[in-house]
Amino acid sequence: MAMVLVPISLWLWVAPPTFLGPTPIPEISFERREAGIKAEMVLLVKRIEAWSGEHFGRLPVNLAETGQEHVDIRYLRLTATTYRLRAEIDTATIDFDSTEDLDEFFASARMVIDRGGN
């Protein structure tokens, strides 16, 4: 019995068949990552606007003031009434300026998310 189990054990340890290994996780495309960041920006914009409404139109100094810190997205207060959200993916920069139309900013991302896939 050992004469059979030892070679099989060695084979499984040295060169396991692919069906025993983990399924590799597919890489998420740049397009999907960009759509995800834009979706997160939309949520942050909504939170900033809600916070501003609760504080008589004043913008927060930083995202921590709203209770919404984010590692990948930076908040830059430009003036007393305008701000910019910025994220970087690979070598690309994604900016949302508070003077932009939010629906227009998110339109391309919504199409990618609705389409699904990687």
Amino acid 118: pLDDT: 63
Q: Which token pair is 84?
A: 């910019």
- Residues with pLDDT less than 50, the chain: none
Checking 92-98 for CB contacts under 8 A at 24+ apart, the result is 92/30, 92/34, 94/34, 94/37, 94/38, 94/41, 96/38, 96/41, 96/45, 98/45
pLDDT of res. 22: 76
Domain boundaries, the chain: 28-115
pLDDT for 4 equals 74
